[in-house]
Structure 1
Amino acid sequence: MFAKIISDVLNKFLGKYIENLDGSQLKIGVWGGDVELRDLDVKESALDELDLPVRLVCGHIGHLKLKIPWKNLFNERWEAAVEGVYVVVVPKTSIQYDAQKEEKLLHESKLAALQRVEDARLKQQEIEKGDQTANQDGFFEKLCSQIIRNIQIFIKDIHIRYEDGLSCQNSQFAAGITLSNLSIQSTGADWIPRLDTSKLVYKLNTLDCLGIYWNADANLIAQNGHDKSGMIKCLKELVTSQDYIPQGMNYIIGPICSAAKLQLNPKPEQPDENGKTFSIPFASLDFVMDELAVGLSRRQYSGIMALLDSFDRLQLSSKYRKYRPQVSKVTGNAKDWWHYAYNCQLENIRRVHQNWSWEHMKEHRAKCQKYKVAYKAKLENKLSGGMSKDIEGCERALDVINITLIRRQAEMEVQREGRLRKQEKQKRGWFSGWF
């Protein structure tokens, strides 16, 4: 049961961000105790939840590992490791418009939004029901507490980079975060890494070379004609470590190296040896940092302000990317840009006129009715192949609000019809007793 829960969670979480994830192989790996995935490609829609006018052009995870000790869940170490995460993000307007690709990404974003709505609703239902066993020290609570005690986390070689040649006039820049190594290990009271069975939980956290940089007049990796492997190689070469500092990296913060010793008391309310409660705090942290380097040049500050100012414009212009001319300069291309402005305004006018047209209203109502019928069939496990296509087509045409409202209406009708069928069955049973 627990393996199935972990497999479902991993499939659900990783499937949102990883391209072509093989769920069956992941399930087999979880049951075997080891999940090890290599050379994973991150979906272009992975950042859509942030609702920013940016698009991921390269995303790669070199190695992902999860070790689960099924034979001894409580007394052996759990291990999670991630290595080689490289991401390049650019403004949406700097990517050539592809209608089919945009439609696919928009649909994936809509499905993700619908899933968040459903998850929030289920969570609210659980809260309203009230779990009477929440305070009981059950199996899963003990297991979760033991996972926190025994889990070891290792993160290595992270580089997330944003490149922009549009926001700053007559300039281009690259900004990002690099991390050489992060480890979180269980220790004993002497802070030597090992599994410990004492009442308190000890965690040793080590951070190596975490930095935030801003390079003005940077060489843009995404525009240099590199393929995906070439971009990954460039990103890897720009990760700072304790024995390697790449040239041309202008850090605003860091690189930071630190160590933290965290002591956790899972149950501070329990009495100690002297019978006192809350004598040991829930959490105690000893944090040591070698050096905190912070610096911001005038040019970096100007670039940051220009980026923040441009985000509003990028957010607005991203809606009209399909009309944007494929030219970089305004000078000499006045006709193209005037045509672009005309189409942007005309789209708003057309949308208003269409929304209030009788034909559009009838078509919209028909789609809503079709979706409700198909969704009710899905809830009652009576879904046919044609109805599955109806659901997919309507979910592409309708917005999130309409889909959510129709789903709630369908659920209420299914519940009401179920109660009526049950009452009718009881009546028939009562009358049949007289004959």
Structure 2
Amino acid sequence: MVFESLVVNVLNQFLGPYIKNLDASQLKIGIWNGDALLERLEIKENAFSQFNLPIRVKGGFLDRLRLQIPWKSKFTDPVIAEVEGLYLIAGPLTGTTYDSKKETAEAREKKQNQLKKIEEAKKREKEKSKESDDGFVAKLVTQIIKNIQVTVKSIHIRYEDNVTMSGHNFAAGVTLDGLVVQSTDSQWRIGVNKEEGSMVYKIVQLKSLTVYWDTDTQLVGDLPTSEWLKYLKDRISPTDKSSTTNYILRPLTADAKATLTTKPGKDPNIPQADVSISVGEVAVHMDKLQFQGVMTLAESLDRMTVNTRYRKYKPPVEMKHQYKLWWQYAIVSVLEEHVKRKTEMWSPSHIRQHWRLFKQYVEKYKEKLLTSKPSADLLAQLQQLEDQLDIGNIVVARNEAEIKASKVEKKRAETSSGWFGWFTSSVVEEEKDVIPSEKDMEAERDSLYKAIGYAKGEALQSFSKEYVAHRINFSLHKVTVELYNGKDRAAMAQVSKVQAGVAHRPSAKGISVSATVGDVSVTGIDGNDQPLIVESTCSAVVQCL
């Protein structure tokens, strides 16, 4: 029950900000049964606000999300996570009409998400102050990596814009055909590793990752849902060579192999984590219009971010022949958001009002902390106060309320004794939701310790100064960068046979980095007689200790 509840809470926190009308009860039932399957999930319109981007989702769906957890053998059998069919079209925030109710609701949701992150950070800080079991964490992470298997298929995220570049529509997007993380045996054969021992083998395969930028192209975001979905699906991994998609990053494929040991340091020649990454060819192509579009979009996003706070004053008409309304928009924006805000902030009436709201929030939040089941009326009052206070004041008020609540609880603990104290505490327990008992939690903890080979109080093993605990090797067959002016190639750079390595010795606090490059060449204008600008005559080797 302990792990089931933990997984449900983590998934709710991860999916909640992005999925519209997420059915938490359905997710909970699925997780507890060991097989949670969610289909046809709709992406929230304000999903990008979590990243503070002035981008609005025009339409988005996640076809399938599945999580299989074998609870009876959760420490030995694989945990399977599958994500399939993420299709999303977004556009600039300025291209949408301002809706007061919707914007207020989204601002409230964003504030609540920020407050949740702050509360989680406070919990982590409290845990850091306690004695940490680094050995337990290291072995738990290794066990999680050993068991988990991930499959991601068919991802297409597209951004369409007819505002940023005057006279030029453009669409930019990222597509991914597949990403697979699987367990293997020592011979890198895919499947559950049945071999006994302390070694864990994982393989990661990336298939057809692309980035494209189409200028003066068809914008499909306003088409019926079935049509734009088909459009996005057909362009994930097109096999038709006549495709009009203009790739900045052409289909990229990569593989990674990881070897981990649950008993680091036992063999001085085996690192705790040894990762090898192999990338085929990285082909980058960019023309003049694409480059201009990327730079213009970056500037536009900055302007839209600044302009977000003034959207409610913006007139719903174009500037042409409506200059008076737009001058009023500029004047009102400055007056309301800058002049009046500063003058009112330090007025005696505003200070008294703010202090009254602050004290009310402290008392209401303290009441919430001291109540096992806060009433709907109390939660509504807290929400109303949070709408009027900024995040900084809310955090300070909560800290003050927590101090006051802890004093009240300490006083209650000192005064409650005998049968009356036992009676009141039992009543409170009956009112709370079903929470795992200490005995159940201890049993779960013992089974986890046994599964990952951890003894309570075991410290993180110290290594010799010569022991390499982490090693990463990277190989890249070739990188090609082509720059075009229209249909004419202006320049091309190629780098081939790139090798790099990183080795970490934690006890010596040392890192070794090495890199080798095979051939390097830069050529100029395309034609029968291409000018050679740069060419390597021998391999270059760089090593830093």
Q: Say yes or no: TM over 0.5.
A: yes
Counterparts of 1:20-99 in structure 2 under 5 Å?
20-99=21-100
Kept in 2: contact 1:202–1:263 (CA 8 A) = yes
Q: Tell me whether 402-411 or 413-422 shows the greater mean CA deviation.
A: 413-422
Match of 1:394 among 358, 380, 385: 385
Tell me how far 1:245 sits from its aligned partner: 6.0
Name the structure where helix makes up a greater proportion of residues.
1
CA distance in 1: counterparts of 2:345 and 2:224, whole angstroms: 43
- Could you tell me which amino acid in structure 2 is paired with residue 92 of structure 1? L
State the percentage of identical aligned residues. 37
Tell me how far 1:55 sits from its aligned partner: 2.0
From the superposition, tell whether residues 135 and 142 of structure 1 become closer, same or farther in structure 2 (CA, over 3 Å): closer
Q: Secondary structure at the match of 1:239?
A: coil
Q: Secondary structure at the match of 1:366?
A: helix
Tell me how far 1:58 sits from its aligned partner: 1.8
CA distance in 2: counterparts of 1:359 and 1:386, whole angstroms: 28
- Per the alignment, residue 294 of structure 1 pairs with 284
- Per the alignment, residue 332 of structure 2 pairs with 343
- Could you tell me which amino acid in structure 2 is paired with residue 408 of structure 1? N
CA distance in 2: counterparts of 1:246 and 1:54, whole angstroms: 31
CA distance in 2: counterparts of 1:312 and 1:143, whole angstroms: 42
- Could you tell me which amino acid in structure 1 is paired with residue 177 of structure 2? S
- Per the alignment, residue 189 of structure 1 pairs with 186
Kept in 1: contact 2:204–2:257 (CA 8 A) = yes
- Per the alignment, residue 217 of structure 2 pairs with 218
Tell me how far 1:306 sits from its aligned partner: 0.8
Kept in 2: contact 1:78–1:151 (CA 8 A) = yes
CA distance in 2: counterparts of 1:257 and 1:145, whole angstroms: 26
- Could you tell me which amino acid in structure 2 is paired with residue 372 of structure 1? V
- Per the alignment, residue 370 of structure 1 pairs with 360
CA distance in 2: counterparts of 1:107 and 1:168, whole angstroms: 32
CA distance in 1: counterparts of 2:212 and 2:291, whole angstroms: 12
From the superposition, tell whether residues 245 and 67 of structure 1 become closer, same or farther in structure 2 (CA, over 3 Å): farther
CA distance in 1: counterparts of 2:415 and 2:73, whole angstroms: 53
TM-score by length of 1: 0.88
The 4+ residue runs of structure 1 with deviation greater than 6 A are none
Structure 1 unpaired stretches of 5+? 427-435
Kept in 1: contact 2:34–2:69 (CA 8 A) = yes
From the superposition, tell whether residues 184 and 59 of structure 1 become closer, same or farther in structure 2 (CA, over 3 Å): same
TM-score by length of 2: 0.71
Name the structure where strand makes up a greater proportion of residues.
2
- Per the alignment, residue 345 of structure 2 pairs with 355
Cα deviation digits, residues 197-231 of structure 1 (max 9, x gap): 34322222222110111111122222xx3244443
Q: Tell me whether 369-378 or 167-176 shows the greater mean CA deviation.
A: 167-176
Q: Tell me whether 405-414 or 73-82 shows the greater mean CA deviation.
A: 73-82
Cα deviation digits, residues 160-204 of structure 1 (max 9, x gap): 112222222322211111001111111112211111134322222
Match of 1:232 among 229, 233, 237: 229
CA distance in 2: counterparts of 1:32 and 1:86, whole angstroms: 28
Counterparts of 1:385-424 in structure 2 under 5 Å?
385-420=376-411
CA distance in 1: counterparts of 2:107 and 2:256, whole angstroms: 42
Tell me how far 1:420 sits from its aligned partner: 4.7
Kept in 1: contact 2:164–2:300 (CA 8 A) = yes
Kept in 1: contact 2:249–2:285 (CA 8 A) = yes
Tell me how far 1:316 sits from its aligned partner: 1.3
- Per the alignment, residue 259 of structure 1 pairs with 255
CA distance in 2: counterparts of 1:93 and 1:218, whole angstroms: 20
From the superposition, tell whether residues 418 and 182 of structure 1 become closer, same or farther in structure 2 (CA, over 3 Å): closer
Kept in 2: contact 1:74–1:143 (CA 8 A) = no
- Per the alignment, residue 246 of structure 2 pairs with 250
- Could you tell me which amino acid in structure 1 is paired with residue 259 of structure 2? Q
- Could you tell me which amino acid in structure 2 is paired with residue 296 of structure 1? M
- Could you tell me which amino acid in structure 1 is paired with residue 367 of structure 2? A
Counterparts of 1:156-195 in structure 2 under 5 Å?
156-195=153-192
CA distance in 2: counterparts of 1:237 and 1:246, whole angstroms: 13
Cα deviation digits, residues 340-378 of structure 1 (max 9, x gap): 112212212222232233332222222212211111110
